Structure 1
Amino acid sequence: MVKNKDDKERQLAGIMRAHPRGFGFVGVEGYDQDIFIPKSRMSGAIDGDDVSVEVYDIVSEKGPEGRVVEIVKRSKKHLVGTIVKASDGDILAHVPLLGDAHRVVVMNPKGRELILGDRVVLDVEEWGDDGAETSCSVHKHMGNISEASYDIAVAGEEYNIRSAFPKNVIKEVEKLPNTVLEEDLNSREDFRDMETITIDPTDSKDFDDALSLRIDEKGHYHLSVHIADVANYVKAGTALDQEAFLRCNSTYFPGNCIPMLPYQLSNNICSLKPDVERLTASVLMEYDGEGNLVDYKIVRSVIRSKKRFTYREAKEVLDGKLESQYAPLLKNLEALCHIFKKKRSERGCVEFALPEVRVIVDDDGVPTGMEFIEYDITHQLVEECMLKANEVIAKHISGLEKKLPFRIHPEPSEQNFSALVETATALGFKVSSRPTSEELQKMFNEIENTEQARHLAICFIKSMPIAFYSAENIGHYGLGLEYYCHFTSPIRRYSDLVVQRILFEETKISDEDLDNVTEACSEQERISSRAENAVKILKKLRYIAAAKEKDPYVQYDALVIKVTGRGIVFEIPEIMVEGFLHVSALSKDYFVYNEASSTLRGRNTGKTYHSGSAITVMPKNIDLIKSQAKWDQIT
């Protein structure tokens, strides 16, 4: 494509952040919002590509619009795909990163014969820009789509998530102690006799944090949050540190985890297991009965956790279903949690509970069940304690005039709220175009414990700008805090490890290093989240496919979460899977879309579909290769 001088001057450079549905965003200088690139104007760009874009005088609900005019540098040399055709002399692959419309031809495969469903890592021989086909050769085979055991390895390849640790890292780890050394206790506060517990998910092994609490004669709460002192073992500049920086965070999949740190650290010497000594960074906070911070102290310490609770066990203790000598401690933590939550509400924070579904898999990666996880009081009390520690640390370091990686969350614009307002209106609420926290909280209170609550919560989350790391502090809108950072999970987040070093070490972090940390951690968090979601969706589809194989007429209760002129988007609450029903697949009627009310209404029957409508659906076809399902409605 030949461009004149004026064209070049109008172009802006940035990195493509592609969405799985085909569109993308590019952050460029001079614009507060990222430039939205519709699917039709991506010009073959994929996630991570360096691109030049032209910005139009159009602003949609997703932000200012533009188009890709040039792909300056490709982000990938390898692609991951699945063979969708291996006959008649043609071998074609579906590559999720490129989308359905992009034709990928596999040339002269060496080694074993390729068959339908084979998963392969491909070397790109020639990129197919502007709609042309991309030519590839086979770099590596990774099983078949029928083999669930390869799901995580394939995702690791697709999203460039580092798995095996290099030999030089392993050598460094082997030199680290397996137990706390006597020399490590010098200059540390000794909290080994303190009543300390951990509360974590059932399958967790990397215990970052532990809690202690006592109430004094004035009724003040003395909360101690103890965090694994990872900085004591992972020194800046070592091979271990460099590898942790390349990973930036642990990535969690059903039944497995790709850790930021080798298991010898993450699951052993850094993990706050019960009945063993562990080095910690402790934040000792004193709060009055109203939840106001009276005093605090930050020290390096040693603890011996007295009890490892799962969330379920802690909840059973609080409900009186399980006896425990630590019941008073849990009860006091619960009471303090309610005080903190009231304080947060007074700051204007919107609070809602968003349950999750955990996919249970066997040793071969085959999904065997779904566990519904409520965001109950035990999750809330841990979160509230972590929030307090993170806030105190951010304020403390800022007060020392040291730079740190803040966790920031921009304030949403009126455009951000548009989809939420549309959904709230469809549910019968009257809200302003930029609703206040009071309006939002009133809505959530009114639909608490209803099927619509989760839907509205998801809409709220999607309406928010994403939180990220930054050397410049603008506060955290979602939490209503002026100062906030991540400190409490150094085993699984590199940003937290950096904060530990800044807190306790004399050497200041350079501006360049801090920018590198914030950019890398923000980007890798996004990539890991996409990888986790991709595997979770595939596992859920495998689960549905197995149910359909067992019962061809298996049905699911679903909830409509969005209505468009094309059809309806729904969610199946019991497995939290979204699906789509085209308008032609709805009840036998002609449906008319009302844009003002976001409803579909049958011309003959008067049947109306709106956000929150209850329907019953049946899987028609499960396409594991494309991680898609087609559905029928049961009338």
Structure 2
Amino acid sequence: MNIKEEILKYLRTSNQVRSFLNIAKGLGIKPNKNKDLTKALQESQKEFLIFKNEKDEYFAPIFKEEIEGKLSLSNNGRFAFVDYNIDELANTKDSVFIIKNNFNGAIHNDLVKVKIFIDKTKEKEQMLFGVVSQVVQRATNTLIGFVKKNGLFVDFEPIDKKYKFNKYKIIALQEKASLNDLVTVKIEEIKNNLILVSIQKVITNQADTKLFIKAYLEGVDVPKVFGSELNEEIAKIPEDIFNENISNRTDFTDELIVTIDGDDTKDFDDAVNVIKKENGNFVLSVHIADVSYYVTEGTKINDEALKRGTSIYLADQVIPMLPEALSNGICSLNPNQKRFVLSAIMEIDQNGNTLKTEIKQGIIDSKYRLTYKQVNNFFENNLLDPTWFRNNENLKIEKFNLDKLAKMLNDAKELSLILHKFKIKQGYIDFEINEPKILFNEDGSVKDITFYPRGFSEVLIEDFMVRANEEVAKFLNKNNFPAMYRVHEKPDEDRLLSFKNVLNTLGIKANIPTGNITPLLYSNVIETIKEQRNDEFIKLLFLRTMQKAVYSGDNIGHFGLASDCYCHFTSPIRRYPDLVIHRILRELVLNKELNKKEDLTNLVYSVSKANSASEQGAVEVERKVNDLLFSEYYKNKIGTKLTGQIVSVVKFGFFVEFENKTNALVHKSVLMDSDLEPNDAMTQLKGAKSTYTIGQNIDVIVAAVDLADGKVDCVPEVFYQDFLKQKINRRAVNDSHLRKN
């Protein structure tokens, strides 16, 4: 028996991981023969007989089979799956898990052969894992991406995120390229995880933000258009309701119903009406586009909506969840057009208690398309300007004069104040975060960045929608119907303790309770903090203590909204969870088809996690595109002095926020202090020469902008001249290295 066979037998017999020393001792190999053992171990690994884990321990799994399929990388690039035994008719398949170290030169979407092994060293259960044994066919020989700076060197960064986890080296240039050029490269060779590429073509050397946004959206697989397979269903979408059955719907068309949205909104999925009764109670009617009537299970449109999960609202465009014929057409509650709705009709007393809730399917005819600005103007000046409505095509303002509209808006304001006070008493955390607003020139370039503080009309609509969402969730919960709840866990104790330590270092006094914390207790703490400091960085610190709200079939309440029971009902045009809630209401409440309860319950549990992920993905996309547009704005500000506030400290520097609510990085490398390190509370960057603390105002110069990555770097004004000297030296090194490549 040779040494490789002895190693294999030893590891198989033990069924445990063994270190080099364990193996040497177990086989009785003397130290002077360690080189022979090392060689045998390496050869055994190459032959896929044994493997080594992240702790440099060896194990010998049992070979099961070899399969063939496409390598599909995870979003973080650390592992992949290969599907096999695929039965499309039965909708079944097997998958094998492969860690990055076992890709063996394969990249995303390559057709590969995979050896599947059984690892018996796991204590709880035997685990299958795969190892790429051969690349049968490359998925692509060319990639598109950017020429990027990596320290002192220049390399390639593909736009497709699934290819970003490899290391690239530019070994040849068929066409001269510069930093941030968008280029096509040819894969010349792959050595383990290093991909050698040659630049074939420069697609553009212009600093074009639109192109960078397009490349980013393509790289993260954001579907901008609907596939042709939906065309047949889209063609059947009606433009009006005149040929539909309306016998089972409540007619709300004679009521003064309005929409209140942003200036540039095109899809109107909610409309409201408020009536104050003689006894002082209010009737709040929240009418929501009846999307579930048009988008049913089993259709291609529904499948695509589920896949997208949500509309993505970018600063200059909307990537809708539903085709335009639905989102801007028959489902949009446009003024003076009859539309189908699902409505929550709530009677609310003067203390904010809901006395009665009815769920109805109905027909509305929105009388006014109001904007937040218009309604805010009315609340401030108590005057409705008739010219607002004369330019609104097809509006019949003679049916409802402006005096009636003014009264309805004033009643709505009174009710909103009551509802808001009610929520505050419950512990609703009223912490407004101001978001930057990007303004564009006619050619689509960024003109300016500002921010609009929320006016009362925005708060009013939020109050009404929150109450409707709560009442629908309570209704479903009370009747033991399934629901896709919007849940938000309370802050965990570790985060609360960290928050307390941060506040202490800043000299902010607050008695933060731990243990069984309630929304009311926490909101009282926040109010105490706001009385001492109400800066933006305080809001960021507060947000770090909170968990993310997600969707779930199990109700645990919504901590941030101080709600025992909450769901999303009010935006089915742009959120799939709302569409699920509508579907449940339609089938179980309105149609009373209780035999569908189990299927709807399964639907809720099967899509909740995916919809939470879709939402988070959309948020990431919206933020990234904003960053790209912010960088376009600041490219014209290079060399400009700005005053910012330090809002967060990181290991490599700190971020400053400007008056327009955008931020930039100040890297510690430009601070002329080699000993700078953050404190434990991450509130200060401290060095031998200086200390930088969150909340501190600082004058900075816009120093560099990365248009391709959406990053803005600043330098403190006092160090700017030193930075310029360093920049000149680095540029010379980079240009020299690119010429050598």
Which TM-score tier does this pair reach, normalised by the shorter chain? 0.7 to 0.9
Residues in 2 aligned to 1:71 and 1:269: alpha-carbon distance in whole angstroms: 50
| 1:177 correspondence with 2:238 | yes
Residues in 2 aligned to 1:270 and 1:219: alpha-carbon distance in whole angstroms: 34
Residues in 2 aligned to 1:266 and 1:570: alpha-carbon distance in whole angstroms: 38
2:254 match: secondary structure = coil
Aligned to 1:65: none
1:634 to 699, 705, 717: 717
Aligned to 2:572: 490
What is the CA deviation profile of residues 575-615 of structure 1, one whole-angstrom value per residue up to 9, with x for unaligned ones?
422423417517x89878665794456867xx753221111
What is the CA deviation profile of residues 501-558 of structure 1, one whole-angstrom value per residue up to 9, with x for unaligned ones?
110123333554333321221111111111111110110011011233xxx3x12221
Aligned amino acid, residue 181 of structure 1: F
2:431 to 352, 355, 362: 352
Q: How does 1:458-477 map to 2 (within 5 A)?
A: 458-477=540-559
On the 8 A contact 2:177/2:202 being kept in 1, the answer is no
| 1:612 correspondence with 2:702 | no
1:417 to 496, 510, 515: 496
Q: Which moved more, 1:140-149 or 1:486-495?
A: 140-149
1:556 to 614, 617, 642: 642
Aligned amino acid, residue 619 of structure 1: V
Residues in 1 aligned to 2:201 and 2:328: alpha-carbon distance in whole angstroms: 31
Aligned to 1:82: 146
On the 8 A contact 1:281/1:299 being kept in 2, the answer is yes
Residues in 2 aligned to 1:514 and 1:438: alpha-carbon distance in whole angstroms: 30
Residues in 2 aligned to 1:489 and 1:72: alpha-carbon distance in whole angstroms: 45
User: How many residues align structurally?
Assistant: 579
On the 8 A contact 1:44/1:128 being kept in 2, the answer is no
Shift in Å, 1:5: 9.4
Aligned to 1:522: 612
1:577 to 663, 666, 679: 663
1:579 match: secondary structure = strand
Provide closer, same or farther for how the CA distance between residues 246 and 600 of structure 1 changes in structure 2, counting only shifts above 3 A.
Answer: closer
Provide closer, same or farther for how the CA distance between residues 589 and 236 of structure 1 changes in structure 2, counting only shifts above 3 A.
Answer: closer
Shift in Å, 1:119: 3.5
Shift in Å, 1:198: 1.0
Aligned to 1:313: 374
On the 8 A contact 2:346/2:358 being kept in 1, the answer is yes
Shift in Å, 1:630: 2.3
2:716 match: secondary structure = strand
What is the CA deviation profile of residues 346-387 of structure 1, one whole-angstrom value per residue up to 9, with x for unaligned ones?
222221121111112345542111231212321111111111
On the 8 A contact 2:180/2:708 being kept in 1, the answer is yes
On the 8 A contact 1:571/1:579 being kept in 2, the answer is no
Q: TM-score, normalised by structure 1?
A: 0.80
Residues in 2 aligned to 1:366 and 1:44: alpha-carbon distance in whole angstroms: 46
Residues in 2 aligned to 1:150 and 1:140: alpha-carbon distance in whole angstroms: 16
Provide closer, same or farther for how the CA distance between residues 104 and 566 of structure 1 changes in structure 2, counting only shifts above 3 A.
Answer: closer
Residues in 2 aligned to 1:458 and 1:71: alpha-carbon distance in whole angstroms: 43
Residues in 2 aligned to 1:230 and 1:602: alpha-carbon distance in whole angstroms: 58
On the 8 A contact 1:127/1:135 being kept in 2, the answer is yes
1:622 to 677, 685, 705: 705
Aligned to 1:222: 283
Residues in 1 aligned to 2:430 and 2:265: alpha-carbon distance in whole angstroms: 26
Provide closer, same or farther for how the CA distance between residues 567 and 494 of structure 1 changes in structure 2, counting only shifts above 3 A.
Answer: closer
Q: Which moved more, 1:234-243 or 1:99-108?
A: 99-108
1:319 match: secondary structure = helix
2:336 match: secondary structure = coil
Shift in Å, 1:399: 2.7
Residues in 2 aligned to 1:495 and 1:622: alpha-carbon distance in whole angstroms: 38
Aligned to 2:209: 148
Residues in 1 aligned to 2:323 and 2:361: alpha-carbon distance in whole angstroms: 23
Q: How does 1:354-393 map to 2 (within 5 A)?
A: 354-362=433-441, 364-393=443-472
Q: How does 1:319-334 map to 2 (within 5 A)?
A: 319-320=380-381, 322-323=383-384, 325=402, 326-334=405-413
Q: Which moved more, 1:557-566 or 1:174-183?
A: 557-566
What is the CA deviation profile of residues 430-459 of structure 1, one whole-angstrom value per residue up to 9, with x for unaligned ones?
234556555654565467699843222222
1:93 to 136, 150, 157: 157
1:416 match: secondary structure = helix
Aligned to 2:83: none
1:262 to 311, 314, 323: 323
Residues in 1 aligned to 2:664 and 2:484: alpha-carbon distance in whole angstroms: 35
Aligned to 2:259: 198
Aligned amino acid, residue 572 of structure 1: F
Aligned amino acid, residue 242 of structure 2: L
On the 8 A contact 1:104/1:134 being kept in 2, the answer is yes
Q: Calculate percent identity across the aligned residue pairs.
A: 28
Aligned to 2:296: 235
On the 8 A contact 1:540/1:577 being kept in 2, the answer is no
What is the CA deviation profile of residues 114-141 of structure 1, one whole-angstrom value per residue up to 9, with x for unaligned ones?
7653446889999887xx3246799999
Aligned to 2:43: none
| 1:343 correspondence with 2:422 | yes
What is the CA deviation profile of residues 88-131 of structure 1, one whole-angstrom value per residue up to 9, with x for unaligned ones?
xx972366948999633479999x987653446889999887xx
On the 8 A contact 1:82/1:118 being kept in 2, the answer is yes
| 1:456 correspondence with 2:519 | no
Residues in 1 aligned to 2:242 and 2:131: alpha-carbon distance in whole angstroms: 52
Q: Which moved more, 1:434-443 or 1:175-184?
A: 434-443
Residues in 1 aligned to 2:423 and 2:709: alpha-carbon distance in whole angstroms: 42
Q: Which moved more, 1:296-305 or 1:417-426?
A: 417-426
Gaps of 5+ in 1: 9-14, 25-40, 48-68
On the 8 A contact 2:312/2:319 being kept in 1, the answer is yes
On the 8 A contact 2:159/2:218 being kept in 1, the answer is no
Residues in 2 aligned to 1:42 and 1:433: alpha-carbon distance in whole angstroms: 43
Residues in 2 aligned to 1:176 and 1:269: alpha-carbon distance in whole angstroms: 8
Provide closer, same or farther for how the CA distance between residues 23 and 585 of structure 1 changes in structure 2, counting only shifts above 3 A.
Answer: farther
Aligned to 1:117: 180
Aligned to 1:31: none
Q: Which moved more, 1:371-380 or 1:259-268?
A: 371-380
Q: Cα RMSD over matched residues?
A: 4.1
Provide closer, same or farther for how the CA distance between residues 601 and 204 of structure 1 changes in structure 2, counting only shifts above 3 A.
Answer: same
2:493 match: secondary structure = coil
Aligned to 1:408: 487
Provide closer, same or farther for how the CA distance between residues 431 and 85 of structure 1 changes in structure 2, counting only shifts above 3 A.
Answer: closer
Gaps of 5+ in 2: 1-50, 62-72, 80-98, 109-127, 133-137, 386-401, 588-592, 719-741
Residues in 2 aligned to 1:225 and 1:142: alpha-carbon distance in whole angstroms: 50
Residues in 2 aligned to 1:369 and 1:567: alpha-carbon distance in whole angstroms: 27
Aligned to 1:499: 581
Indicate the structure (1 or 2) with the bigger Cα radius of gyration.
2
Provide closer, same or farther for how the CA distance between residues 373 and 572 of structure 1 changes in structure 2, counting only shifts above 3 A.
Answer: same
Aligned to 2:122: none
1:395 match: secondary structure = helix
Aligned to 2:117: none
Q: TM-score, normalised by structure 2?
A: 0.69
Shift in Å, 1:618: 1.1
Aligned amino acid, residue 81 of structure 1: G
Residues in 2 aligned to 1:156 and 1:597: alpha-carbon distance in whole angstroms: 33
On the 8 A contact 1:80/1:122 being kept in 2, the answer is yes
1:368 match: secondary structure = strand
On the 8 A contact 1:121/1:157 being kept in 2, the answer is no
2:504 match: secondary structure = helix
Aligned amino acid, residue 117 of structure 1: N
Provide closer, same or farther for how the CA distance between residues 163 and 563 of structure 1 changes in structure 2, counting only shifts above 3 A.
Answer: closer
Provide closer, same or farther for how the CA distance between residues 328 and 126 of structure 1 changes in structure 2, counting only shifts above 3 A.
Answer: farther
Aligned amino acid, residue 624 of structure 2: A
1:183 match: secondary structure = coil
Shift in Å, 1:425: 2.9
Shift in Å, 1:175: 1.3
Residues in 2 aligned to 1:453 and 1:300: alpha-carbon distance in whole angstroms: 45
On the 8 A contact 2:483/2:601 being kept in 1, the answer is no
